[in-house]
Amino acid sequence: MNRMNRMNRMKQYALFTGCTIKAALPHIEMVARKVLPLLDIGIKELAFTCCPNADFRSTDEYSWLVVAARNLALAEKEGLEILGLCPGCTQTLREANMVLKDDVSLRAEINKRLGKIGLTFKGTTEVNHHLVVLHRQIDILLQRVTIPLYGIKLAVHTGCHLLMPSRIMQFDNPEQPRKLGELVKMLGSTIINYPEETLCCGFTLFGSHKDIASRIIRDKVESAFLSGAEAFVVPCPSCYQQFDRNQLVAKRELKFEYQLPVFYYLQLVGLAMGFDLDEVGYYHGRVRSPGLEDKIKLLVKKTVVNL
Amino acid sequence: MITIKTDLRRKILEHNEDIKKCYQCSTCSASCPVLRYDPDFNPRILIIKALYGSEDTLESKEFWKCLSCDRCNERCPQGVNPYNVLLKLKNFLFSQNLAPKERIDARELIITTGFSYPISSAVNRKRESMELEALESIGEELKKIVETE
pLDDT single digits (tens) A182-223: 999 999 999 999 999 999 999 999 999 999 999 999 999 999
Residue B5 pLDDT level (bands cut at 50, 70, 90): confident
As a whole number, mean pLDDT of residues A258-274 equals: 97
Would you say residue A33 has pLDDT above 90? yes
Determine, for residues A200 and B33 on separate chains, whether the beta-carbon distance falls below 8 Å: yes
Q: Which domain holds residue B130?
A: 101-146
In a domain, A260, yes or no: yes
Residue B2 has pLDDT above 80, yes or no: no
Confidence of residue A3 (pLDDT cuts 50, 70, 90): low
Q: Which residues of A touch B145 (CB under 8 A)?
A: 66-67, 70, 113-114, 116-117
Count of structural domains, chain A: 2
> How many beta-carbon pairs below 8 A join chains A and B?
143
- The reply to whether A107 and A242 lie within a common domain is no
What number is the average pLDDT over the span A273-281?
97
Whether B13 and B83 share a structural domain: yes
**A209/B87 Cα distance (integer angstroms):** 18
Residues 52-91 of B with CB under 8 A from A: 64-65, 67-71, 73-74, 87-88, 90-91
**pLDDT tens-place string over residues B22-54:** 999 999 999 999 999 999 999 999 998 888 888
- Helices marked H in chain A — which ranges? 3-9, 19, 26-35, 54-59, 61-78, 87-102, 104-115, 130-136, 138-144, 166-169, 179-185, 210-226, 237-243, 245-254, 265-272, 290-297
Calculated CA dihedral for residues A50, A19, A163, A169, nearest 10 degrees: 40
A160 to chain B: which residues are within 8 Å by CB? Answer: 67-71
Residue B114 inside a domain? The answer is yes
> How does the average pLDDT of chain A come out, rounded?
95
A26 contacts B68? CB cut-off 8 A: no
Q: Report how many domains make up chain B.
A: 2
B67, B110, B127 ranked by CB distance to A204: nearest? B67
Co-location of B29 and B44 in the same domain: yes
Tens of pLDDT, residue by residue over A221-242, are 999 999 999 999 999 999 999 9
pLDDT of amino acid A21 = 98
Same domain, B36 and B78: yes
CA–CA dist B66, A171 (Å, integer): 24
Three state DSSP letters for A62-93: HHHHHHHHHHHHHHHHHCCEEEECCHHHHHHH
Same domain for A288 and A197: yes
- CA-based nearest residue in chain B for residue A278: B130
Round to whole Å and give the CA distance between A116 and B146.
Answer: 11
| ipTM above threshold 0.85 | yes
Segments forming the whole domain that contains residue A153: 146-297
